[in-house]
Amino acid sequence: MSEQVGGKGSPDPRLVALFNYYRDAELRGANLLFRLMSHLEDADSQVKLSKHFQEETYHAWLWTKRIADMGGTPAKVADGYQTRIGLRVIPRNLMDILALTVVVEERSLQRYREHAARPEVDSETRKVLESVSRDEKWHISWIRGRLEQMAEETEDGVAKMNEALDRYREIDRQVYAELLEKEREVFGDVLALHATA
Ligand SMILES: [Fe+2]
Ligand SMILES: [Fe+2]
């Protein structure tokens, strides 16, 4: 039941759906990065954002390719992680957007690592999970660094930054709990055994 079939022609529809959620999160993450490019205009941020943006779109491609290789179909996702976050959050300023990006990237890394640790993961999927996880690590670190720099340059910035991070982490926890619940309904005990959040 928990076996992941990697060969073409017999995709597990639950896995195709899950990978479409990952694909959707990467595409929407790329969209957030693209918007940041018009706000962070210093040269260093532009260089890092360009690379970061390129990697998020590449992650979306890796999930698209994984879906296609399994014999599945890329599909629109109407109620994914980012959409659910967007229904609860209206970032008011640049510091808010950066704090939200940190929280979203942290969740992404945590989720991919948790998935990679499951014993039933097939080797092709594991390769994708490991590849995207490597990139997510530096995404978190440079965005967090840029956020901290902005906080130091802003009046009461550190307090505002911490308040924003706390606020978004709470929203992230609610959204991720909803998604885990949905996954448990679809996958049954397979996921309940491995879920960490
Ligand atoms: Fe990503
Ligand atoms: Fe990322």
Ligand 1 (ion): residues with CB under 5 Å are: 26, 56, 59
Q: What CATH number is attached to the domain comprising 130? A: 1.20.1260.10
Residues of the chain with pLDDT > 90, as a percent, come to 86
- Within 2-152, strands assigned E span none
Give dist(CA 128, CA 181) in Å, integer. 24
Give dist(CA 111, CA 133) in Å, integer. 9
Residue 31: inside a domain: yes
pLDDT score at 194: 47
- The structure tokens 């060969």 sit at 7
Q: Which domain holds residue 39?
A: 13-186
* 162-to-36, 147, 150, 166 alpha-carbon distances in Å: 20, 10, 12, 6
CA of 138 to the centre of ligand 1 (A): 11
Could you say which ligand is closest to the alpha carbon of residue 139?
A: 2
Residue 197: inside a domain: no
Residue 4: inside a domain: no
pLDDT of residue 180 exceeding 50: yes
Residue 164: inside a domain: yes
Residue 182: inside a domain: yes
Residue 195: inside a domain: no
Instruction: Please enumerate in sequence order all residues whose Cβ is within 8 A of that of 8, keeping only pairs 6 or more positions apart, or say none.
Output: 69, 70, 71
CA of 92 to the centre of ligand 2 (A): 22
pLDDT score at 17: 94
- The structure tokens 């759906």 sit at 17
pLDDT of residue 113 exceeding 70: yes
How many domains does the structure of the chain reveal? 1
Residue 7: inside a domain: no
CA of 189 to the centre of ligand 1 (A): 27
CA of 171 to the centre of ligand 2 (A): 18
Residue 107: inside a domain: yes
Confidence tier at 187 by pLDDT (50, 70, 90): confident
Judge whether 106 and 81 are in contact, CB under 8 Å.
Answer: no
What pLDDT digit, counting tens, does each position of 56-95 carry? 999 999 999 999 999 999 999 999 999 999 999 989 999 9
The alpha carbon dihedral of 96, 19, 47, 41 has a sign of negative
What pLDDT digit, counting tens, does each position of 130-175 carry? 999 999 999 999 999 999 999 999 999 999 999 999 999 999 999 9
pLDDT score at 190: 56
pLDDT score at 10: 81
What pLDDT digit, counting tens, does each position of 14-46 carry? 999 999 999 999 999 999 999 999 999 999 999
Instruction: Please enumerate in sequence order all residues whose Cβ is within 8 A of that of 161, keeping only pairs 6 or more positions apart, or say none.
Output: 95, 99, 147, 148, 150, 151
pLDDT score at 195: 45
Judge whether 4 and 64 are in contact, CB under 8 Å.
Answer: no
pLDDT of residue 111 exceeding 50: yes
pLDDT score at 2: 42
CA of 155 to the centre of ligand 1 (A): 32
Task: Report pTM.
Answer: 0.89
CA of 10 to the centre of ligand 2 (A): 30
